[in-house]
Amino acid sequence: MVRELAVAPPYSLHATCAPVDWARGRWADQDWIAGELVWVGWETGRIVHRRVRQPDASPILTIEGDADPDLDRDWVMRVLGTERFMPEIHDPVVLDVAMRNPGMRPHASGTLFSGLVDAVVGQSITVKAAAVVSARLASHFHPGIEIEGRIFWPSPRPVDLANADAARLRVTGLTWKRAEALVAAGQAVLDGRFSEPIDEPLDSTRAMLRRLPLVGPWTAESALLWGIAEDDAFPMGDVALLRAARNAYGLPEMTMKEMEMRAPDWAGHRAWASRLLWLELFGAARPGPGATTD
């Protein structure tokens, strides 16, 4: 079943979904294939999939798949940031990138828990390596479904991780501490110590995350940024962000401290600034054959 959703322009699926394409087909639950986002996940107790395109860079998204059409609007809001808009940016370098990518919106996993899982997995390793381990982890809990010639696995649910054996999770490539931290995160959801934020102060959510094992500042901020697209999440100490800042500012010798000293100029929208700098370094998702992008 094909359905269409209108989005407020400017909107670029290619810029928004760039982080998906950066892993080049390694993420467990999503991929960028021939100019199309393919996503697999749990919804209303079952595994569903969506395939999303933006024909000719129009303000229309076409969606196919077996997910409930009534849930499409909520899904595109959480995952594709369709109701989020570029903030007012004063830093001239970041502003220049924003002006060249006006249709970028914040892509996210859609839940803080999924963002936390990815952040714990991704500690101190590259994006591609994290995607590989994430796929192994997801395949530990589900056999997967085949779409476009590859297997996709839904992100593990809290109950999956809460009941997992940390020792067995190590076969996915996780360290002991990370495996134990993921089990503890799942258990925290089941016993009420972790919940998805609903109109809660950002500092309260940060504090909740920091109480979990192995969750330091970078992990908490990354969970907020990639899980629920929090506007002002800022993963201090991120090596890829330092590379992106050096590239955008033309300062190849910039130190981590020097980059973080610029963060006050991004106050209130530090996640947007980070995404724009990464986009400048790694580029938008590749267009499909014969496609046009904004």
pLDDT of residue 147: 96
Would residue 219 count as lying in a domain? yes
Query: Cα–Cα distance between 196 and 153 in angstroms, integer?
Result: 22
Average pLDDT (13-20) is: 98
Tell me the pLDDT tens digit for each residue of 124-138.
899 999 999 999 999
Q: Do residues 154 and 60 share a domain?
A: no
pLDDT at 292 over 80: no
Would residue 96 count as lying in a domain? no
The token pair that represents 22 in the structure block? 């950066």
Tell me the pLDDT tens digit for each residue of 27-48.
999 999 999 999 999 999 999 9
pLDDT category at 290 given cuts 50, 70, 90 is low
Instruction: Work out how many domains the chain is built from and give that number.
Output: 2
Residue from 174, 116, 134 nearest 25 by CA: 134
pLDDT of residue 289: 65
Q: Do residues 224 and 119 share a domain?
A: yes
Tell me the pLDDT tens digit for each residue of 193-232.
999 998 889 999 999 999 999 999 999 999 999 999 999 9
pLDDT category at 293 given cuts 50, 70, 90 is very low
CATH of the domain at 29: 3.30.310.20
CATH of the domain at 117: 1.10.340.30
Average pLDDT, the chain: 95
User: Which carries the bigger pLDDT value, residue 290 or residue 100?
Assistant: 100
Q: Do residues 117 and 222 share a domain?
A: yes
Would residue 101 count as lying in a domain? no
Q: Do residues 80 and 129 share a domain?
A: no
pLDDT at 9 over 60: yes
Helices (H) and strands (E) in the chain, counts: 14, 7
Query: Cα–Cα distance between 181 and 158 in angstroms, integer?
Result: 12
- Domain end (from 228, 244, 262): 228
Q: Do residues 76 and 131 share a domain?
A: no
Backbone angles phi, psi at 136, to 5 degrees: -65, -40
Question: Does residue 30 contact residue 80 with C-beta atoms inside 8 Å?
Answer: no
Backbone angles phi, psi at 108, to 5 degrees: -150, 165
- Domain end (from 228, 243, 268): 228
Would residue 120 count as lying in a domain? yes
**Structural domain boundaries enclosing 37:** 3-86
pLDDT at 5 over 80: yes
Q: Do residues 143 and 38 share a domain?
A: no
The token pair that represents 211 in the structure block? 């109480």
Would residue 134 count as lying in a domain? yes
The token pair that represents 281 in the structure block? 């370094």
The token pair that represents 241 in the structure block? 């962000």
Query: Cα–Cα distance between 273 and 219 in angstroms, integer?
Result: 18
Q: Do residues 62 and 169 share a domain?
A: no
pLDDT of residue 291: 53
Would residue 33 count as lying in a domain? yes
Q: Do residues 79 and 121 share a domain?
A: no
Would residue 43 count as lying in a domain? yes
- Domain end (from 37, 71, 86): 86
Query: Cα–Cα distance between 1 and 188 in angstroms, integer?
Result: 38
Return the number of other C-beta atoms located less than 10 Å from residue 280's C-beta.
19
What Å distances lie between residue 275 and 13, 93, 200, 270, CA to CA? 14, 13, 23, 9
Query: Cα–Cα distance between 206 and 228 in angstroms, integer?
Result: 13
pLDDT at 254 over 50: yes
pLDDT of residue 40: 98
pLDDT of residue 200: 86
pLDDT of residue 198: 87
Question: Taking the model in full, what pTM does it have?
Answer: 0.95
Would residue 164 count as lying in a domain? yes
Alpha helices in 153-288 (DSSP H): 158-162, 166-169, 176-190, 202-210, 217-228, 239-249, 256-262, 270-282
Tell me the pLDDT tens digit for each residue of 153-170.
999 999 999 999 999 999
Q: Do residues 159 and 65 share a domain?
A: no
pLDDT at 288 over 90: no
Q: Do residues 73 and 151 share a domain?
A: no
